[in-house]
Amino acid sequence: MKSRTYIFVYLSAICIVLASCAGHKAKTEVVQPPIEIKGSVHTMNLVSDEPVFPDQPGRDIFLSNCITCHSTRYIAMQPNFPEKNWDAEVKKMVEKFGAPITPDNQKIIKDYLVKVKGK
């Protein structure tokens, strides 16, 4: 239950950010809010700042599977890789990091990455 709630919160937050950031270019300096301290309670609020990926076939599957655990920026920061590297990365997420992605969707995600971050 707990995990599902978190996923919902993340996906909602990301949808808002994707909608509001669409069209913005790189190099915008991001200033996050400071820590709030009330009594002995320290609270950190971080505003999401995720790059928008191109609207090409496979994008929905890519977003719904990958961004539960990490920002699109994890992919944005990678160099452009050939297909075999992206294949290995998707497999690594599933086999090592425990991402629950079906074999069909793994292929769709890999193809999408090759299209937008391929070499």
Partner 1 sequence: MKIKFLFHGLLVIGMAFSCKSSQQDKEDEYNSNVMKTVKYPEKGDMLLLTDRPPQLETPLKILRQDFTPNEYFFVRWHLAMIPKVIDAEAFRLEITGPSVNKTISLSLNDLKTKFTPYSIVALAECAGNSRSFFKPRVAGGQWCNGAMGNAKWTGVKVKDILEMAGIKDNAVDVAFDGLDEAPLPSVPDFVKSLGIKHAMDGEVMIAYQMNGKDIPMLNGYPLKLVVPGWFATYWVGALHKIEVLDHPFDGFWMKKAYTIADNPQYNENPKDLAKKTVPVTTLALHSIFVEPEPDTKMAVGKPYDMEGLAFDGGKGITKVDISLDNGSTWTHATLDPELGKYAWRRWRYTWTPAKAGKYTLKVKATNAAGETQAAEQWNRSGYARNVIEQMDVTVN
Footprint of partner 1 (CB under 8 A): 3, 6-7, 10, 24-35, 39-46, 48-54, 68-81, 85, 88-89, 96-100, 116-117
Contact, 104 vs 42, CB < 8 A?
no
Query: Which residues in 27-57 are b (16+ Cβ under 10 Å) and which e?
Result: eeeeeeeeeeeeeeeeeeeeebebeebeeee
The count of residues in the chain is 119
Q: How far is the CB of 110 from partner 1 (least distance, A)?
A: 13
Q: Where in 52-119 does DSSP place strands (E)? A: none
